[in-house]
Amino acid sequence: MAIERGASLISAYFPSFTNDVLGVYNKDFNQVFRNARAIKAYIKPNSKVMDHPIEDGSVISDHSIFNPIEIELLLILSDSDYRDVYEEIENIYENRELVTVKTFASSYENQVIYDISHEESKDLFDALSMTMKLRQVLFVKPQFSTAPKNPKNSRTVDRGTQIAKPKESGIIEIKNYFSGKK
């Protein structure tokens, strides 16, 4: 009873303590799988440094590239509706829908769910524990230019319509060669 009063006091004075750690939103920015309680979120932004060996045996690093951001969510699905919530998560996973993950620190757009591992244990009673992994999808804008119109830069020459000559058989070619009709 004292615990319940303490929890209600905390939620009254500090409403952010009772909020989820994060929210997951679809393309229309509607929250999805609202009844899955996020316990922890691991955000993994990282980059790859490009190393190159040189003649004296040492290595130089000249630049780095950013890898897609990965997120790992630890979720608890409650006993009252975990089948419906799990089905919703499965549908988003199977349809490869892009979602946005919003945390206290930032928002991470264009995330695709690539792993929905879950644990079923008697220790959790009727709840379901899930580890969801997401990875950012990076889109590249194509860069192209028009081909030059200078004929010198062209690989082919317009020679008009060409009519192919029928090729003679090998025997006729040999006969013509020995008869002097090359």
CATH of the domain at 68: 2.40.30.200
Structural domain count, the chain: 1
Residue 62, domain extent: 28-136
Q: Is residue 4 part of a domain?
A: no
CA–CA dist 90, 84 (Å, integer)? 10
Residue percentage of the chain with pLDDT more than 70: 74
Q: Is residue 180 part of a domain?
A: no
Strand segments, DSSP code E, in 67-162 are: 70-77, 99-103, 107-119, 128-136
pLDDT of 21 reads 60
Lowest-confidence segment of 89-98, 120-129, 162-171 by average pLDDT? 162-171
Q: Give me the sign of the Cα torsion angle 154, 159, 163, 168.
A: negative
pLDDT of 82 reads 78
Q: Write down the pTM of the prediction.
A: 0.63
Question: pLDDT category, 161, cuts 50, 70, 90?
Answer: confident
The closest of 37, 40, 43 to 69, measured between CA atoms, is: 43
Q: Is residue 155 part of a domain?
A: no
Q: Is residue 147 part of a domain?
A: no
Q: Is residue 166 part of a domain?
A: no
Answer with the residue of higher pLDDT: 2 or 117: 117
Lowest-confidence segment of 28-32, 59-63, 131-135, 138-142 by average pLDDT? 138-142
pLDDT in tens, 100-115: 999 989 999 999 999 9
Q: Identify the burial level of 127 via C-beta atoms within 10 angstroms of its C-beta, where 0-12 means exposed, 13-18 middle and 19 or more buried.
A: middle
CB 125 within 8 A of CB 73: no
Q: Is residue 32 part of a domain?
A: yes
Which pair of structure tokens corresponds to residue 182? 């090359």
Which pair of structure tokens corresponds to residue 29? 């920015």
CA–CA dist 163, 115 (Å, integer)? 61
